[in-house]
Amino acid sequence: MTDSLKTLSEHRCFGGMQSFHEHASREIGLPMRFSVFLPPQAEQGPVPALMYLAGLTCNEETFMVKAGAQRMAAELGLALIAPDTSPRGAAVESLPGASASWDFGIGAGFYLDATEAPWAQHWRMESYLVHELLPLVAQALPIDGQRIGLFGHSMGGHGAFTLALRHPGRFKSLSAFAPICAPTQCPWGEKAFGGYLGAERSAWLAHDACALMQSQTAPPYPAGILVDQGLADKFLAEQLHPHLFEAACRAAGQPLQLRRHAGYDHGYYFIQSFMADHLRHHAGALT
């Protein structure tokens, strides 16, 4: 698998290395790109890592360029992994609607394995991330594959919650910025799930963070989940619904720190403002 891995660029950063990569994905069936920040401690041996899942319209560069995470990651000895959000390329762009908008198209993979045509062939982001990308980076880079945390933003917050809950024990820590908490109950999720998973709404619940949390028989993250949400976020009322996830965590006995911030919106200035807290949250579980 590492034979197809290509390093596109490398950049010295806070004593570590920021790099961008491409490889031929067996799960997606197309080339996929991802980025990695290795802290200085990686020169001495494998380090724990955080995988960040980005939101709608983003790619593997967005987090590394905009989030301002590398300085503290270097101090804490954490690697950062940022995959692309969706399949790309000619095979994708030829699908109906894929190049016109995010509706089941570029930048909107929703971190699941699609079951409906034409999306099922390439839209296999869950299998790609869990079964292909993480083993690949642990094999090719000085990353400890047994110490992986997960976080994300918006659609990526949805992905972080659902992948963590669908793969118990795989991720040692969990947090999110302005996550889509109940995709079966918001327009973004209904549109994407209807396209990727079909019209049967009962099948959607397997990818809904609130439903997944409600089904837990014991708290999956007893040390707590951290969520930050801006109260000036224009998507808060219609799309995000953090109060529903809060209620689901309360019912499951899952400790949750849901912090609501006056004046903050949905963008990366908000994410930058609280990134240090998230990195420390994960470092406590991983290092």
State the Cα–Cα distance between residues 138 and 124, nearest whole angstrom.
20
Establish whether 127 is a catalytic residue.
no
Q: Is the dihedral of CA 65, 159, 111, 26 positive or negative?
A: positive
Establish whether 103 is a catalytic residue.
no
Selecting among 207, 266, 278, 282, the annotated active-site residue is 266
State the Cα–Cα distance between residues 270 and 67, nearest whole angstrom.
9
Residues 6+ apart with CB under 8 A from 261: 228, 229, 230, 231, 270, 273, 274
Amino acid at 49: A
Selecting among 19, 233, 278, 281, the annotated active-site residue is 233
Selecting among 19, 154, 173, 175, the annotated active-site residue is 154
State the Cα–Cα distance between residues 238 and 247, nearest whole angstrom.
17
Establish whether 228 is a catalytic residue.
no
Cα R_g (the chain), whole angstroms: 18
Q: Which residues are catalytic?
A: 154, 233, 266
